Amino acid sequence: MVQFSAILPDFKGLIITLEHMRLRLIKRLGSGAYGVVYLAYDNSLPSKPTPYAVKCLLKHPKESDYHHLQQREIAYHKAASAHPCVVKLHGVIEEEHYLYLILDYCPGGDLFSAIIDHGMYVNDDVRVKRSFLQLLDAIHGCHDLGISHRDLKPENILLSGDGSRVYLTDFGLATKAKLSASFGCGSSFYMSPECAGADVSKRPFVTSISDIWALGVILVNMITGRNPWHIASTQDTGYASYLVEGKPYLQRMLHISRGAVDLLSRIFVDNPAERITIHQLRAAVIEIDTFFPTAPNLCPPVKTLLSSSRPVGSVDITDCLRVGTGASDAAEVKIVDIRPISSPDDNDKITVPKNIGTPPKAFTPVGDESLFVNASDSLFTDDSGSDSESSGPVTPQTRAVAIPSPNISSLLLEFPEVPPDIAVRLSERNSAARRAQDASLTMKKRKLPRSWERFVQRIKVRV
């Protein structure tokens, strides 16, 4: 994946101006695939400097796809900035080689840090409900403008200094297309089944309804500090179990209240047409009594769900490499996101094909680990075609096979009693396997390979 942020220069100390603002970039807050974010102060009033966040981007040629995506992100973010729960985009400064997006500064960091690093939502129904309702209002406001976010996750939700307010940000994958065929768009943990596209024969899906699925996964993150599955596909053992068990799977894996289970079961509906709406979801969240189990010791704190061999601060949900927290001076975020260079809905128009295709074959999950971790592109492509010629159907007339039918006597199998020491070892091995599967759904990070780090270093040296 292209990492433009790796070749950007160090902007620390740079002074930029926008109308009455005179911004000085003080320190680097984090970086993503396409840009770097700095903390800046407006010194137009020396007696009261105002903090801002400045997102620095590489300026692309006007005829390129990257330029089109940049302009689309800016336009959608500007349109949504009027909502009180969206990070405000104050303006854009264009230079010969770089773009600077002037944004509100959110000193509370992102929602991921609030969940994992600070345990802000553990057994706190009031805070969970308040923050989630604010997020719902932000998404509702975007949908009213015809904008679907398509990349909802805790890393794209920022907090105020005291954590009482949440703000939606990063419209890099947003679209105004009501229907989309951009499958695999976003982060795997938060993709809806129709967006993943592996089990629906690549049918175009409604983007706003897909956002609701991601909201459900974020709610699970806030309550439990973990994910319900790796990706919503039958090739994922966790999601396949949910399709078979339903509510009992959520109760068993997440240890949440019955009210929360009922609510999530209305969000995690495989058929988008039957999924809960934004209005219904808001009313249900308001009415719920508690998200946490009432019986003691059923809901362990977030930090106890993490592997004891890893520090809490190093744990991430998906596609991120983090050092420190979003609010600390040494904080740095390197988000590895998934952004299509071009897609059928870039111009917000799409033609629905007449022949959508036949339903996929049933899949039987095998093994303990998810087959969709680091999913390959083959899972999002149609392999129904074939280059080889068929010699015709196989029938008893074309390929007759004589099948003997021997007389098999009844077998009586007697299993010897397992020695106590072997039984103990088998039990410990099964328990370890269950713990490993359980830990795989904990909010965690995926580090970039060292080969990529060396490649980035070479680019920096050459630049």
Angstrom distance (rounded) from CA 72 to CA 171:
9
Amino acid at 192: S
Task: Indicate the SS3 state at residue 167.
Answer: strand
pLDDT exceeds 80 at position 311: no
Domain membership flag for residue 128:
yes
We report the CATH number of the domain holding residue 164 as 1.10.510.10
pLDDT exceeds 80 at position 88: yes
pLDDT exceeds 70 at position 2: no
CB atoms within 10 A of CB 323: 13
- Pick 282 or 453 by higher pLDDT: 282
179/280 same-domain check = yes
44/165 same-domain check = no
Distant-in-sequence, close-in-space partners of 163: CB < 8 Å, separation ≥ 6: 108, 114, 120, 127, 131
Domain membership flag for residue 372:
no
Main-chain phi, psi angles of 15, to 5 degrees: -115, 125
Amino acid at 342: S
Question: CB under 8 Å, gap of 24 or more: what pairs does 379-385 form?
Answer: 379/198, 379/233, 379/235, 380/183, 380/184, 380/196, 380/197, 380/198, 382/201, 382/202, 382/357, 384/357
Residue 97: domain span: 4-105
| pLDDT, mean of residues 71-84 | 96
Question: How confident is the model at residue 442, as a pLDDT?
Answer: 73
- Residue 444 CB-half CA count within 13 A: 17
Task: Indicate the SS3 state at residue 11.
Answer: coil
Domain membership flag for residue 76:
yes
Amino acid at 233: S
Smallest CA-to-CA distance from 149 within 114, 192, 111 is with 192
Domain membership flag for residue 100:
yes
Question: How confident is the model at residue 417, as a pLDDT?
Answer: 59
Using pLDDT thresholds of 50, 70 and 90, give the confidence band for residue 45. confident
Last residue of a domain, one of 308, 339, 374: 308
For residue 30, what are its two tokens? 């984090």
Distant-in-sequence, close-in-space partners of 105: CB < 8 Å, separation ≥ 6: 39, 51, 52, 53
Angstrom distance (rounded) from CA 114 to CA 154:
9
Smallest CA-to-CA distance from 197 within 373, 440, 377, 369 is with 377
54/166 same-domain check = no
pLDDT in tens, 398-448: 444 444 444 434 444 444 555 666 666 666 766 666 666 666 677 765 444
22/69 same-domain check = yes
pLDDT in tens, 116-154: 999 999 999 999 999 999 999 999 999 999 999 999 999
60/171 same-domain check = no
> Is the Cβ–Cβ distance between 187 and 335 less than 8 Å?
no
H/E run at residue 126? helix 125-144
**Winning range, highest mean pLDDT, from 20-24, 64-68, 264-268, 404-408:** 264-268
> Is the Cβ–Cβ distance between 390 and 249 less than 8 Å?
no
Angstrom distance (rounded) from CA 345 to CA 362:
30
Name the pTM for this structure. 0.68
Using pLDDT thresholds of 50, 70 and 90, give the confidence band for residue 315. very low
Question: How confident is the model at residue 3, as a pLDDT?
Answer: 77
Domain membership flag for residue 329:
no
C-alpha torsion sign, points 460, 461, 462, 463: positive
| pLDDT, mean of residues 83-90 | 97
DSSP 284-349: HHHH---SS-SSTTSS--GGGGS-TTS-GGG--SSSEEEES-TTSTT-EEEE-----SS-TTTTS-
For residue 369, what are its two tokens? 């680990």
CB atoms within 10 A of CB 220: 25
Which is the catalytic residue, given 151, 211, 319, 345? 151
Whole-number percent of the chain with pLDDT over 70: 63
pLDDT in tens, 230-282: 999 999 999 999 999 999 999 999 999 999 999 999 999 999 999 999 999 99
We report the CATH number of the domain holding residue 24 as 3.30.200.20
153/302 same-domain check = yes
Domain membership flag for residue 265:
yes
> Is the Cβ–Cβ distance between 190 and 161 less than 8 Å?
no
Last residue of a domain, one of 263, 278, 308: 308
Q: How far from 49 is each of 22, 23, 39, 202, CA to CA, in Å?
A: 10, 9, 12, 52
Using pLDDT thresholds of 50, 70 and 90, give the confidence band for residue 291. very high
Q: How far from 449 is each of 188, 234, 351, 444, CA to CA, in Å?
A: 19, 28, 39, 16
pLDDT in tens, 381-394: 333 343 333 334 33
Task: Indicate the SS3 state at residue 280.
Answer: helix
79/181 same-domain check = no
pLDDT exceeds 90 at position 454: no
Domain membership flag for residue 68:
yes
160/252 same-domain check = yes
Question: How confident is the model at residue 47, as a pLDDT?
Answer: 83
Question: How confident is the model at residue 7, as a pLDDT?
Answer: 86
The chain-wide mean pLDDT, for the chain, equals 76
Domain count, the chain: 2
pLDDT exceeds 70 at position 69: yes
Question: How confident is the model at residue 32, as a pLDDT?
Answer: 80
Question: How confident is the model at residue 46, as a pLDDT?
Answer: 81
Task: Indicate the SS3 state at residue 175.
Answer: strand
Question: How confident is the model at residue 418, as a pLDDT?
Answer: 55
Does residue 151 carry a catalytic annotation? Answer: yes
pLDDT in tens, 183-220: 988 899 999 999 998 766 778 999 999 999 999 999 99
169/291 same-domain check = yes
Question: How confident is the model at residue 451, as a pLDDT?
Answer: 52
pLDDT exceeds 50 at position 329: no
Measured between its terminal Cα atoms, the distance across the chain in Å is: 19
Domain membership flag for residue 8:
yes
120/265 same-domain check = yes
130/278 same-domain check = yes
Last residue of a domain, one of 282, 308, 334: 308
Using pLDDT thresholds of 50, 70 and 90, give the confidence band for residue 93. very high
349 is in an annotated binding site: no
116/100 same-domain check = no
Question: How confident is the model at residue 274, as a pLDDT?
Answer: 96
Question: How confident is the model at residue 202, as a pLDDT?
Answer: 75
**Winning range, highest mean pLDDT, from 42-56, 217-231, 284-298:** 217-231
pLDDT exceeds 90 at position 103: yes
> Is the Cβ–Cβ distance between 313 and 443 less than 8 Å?
no
pLDDT in tens, 341-360: 344 444 444 443 444 344 34
Whole-number percent of the chain with pLDDT over 90: 54
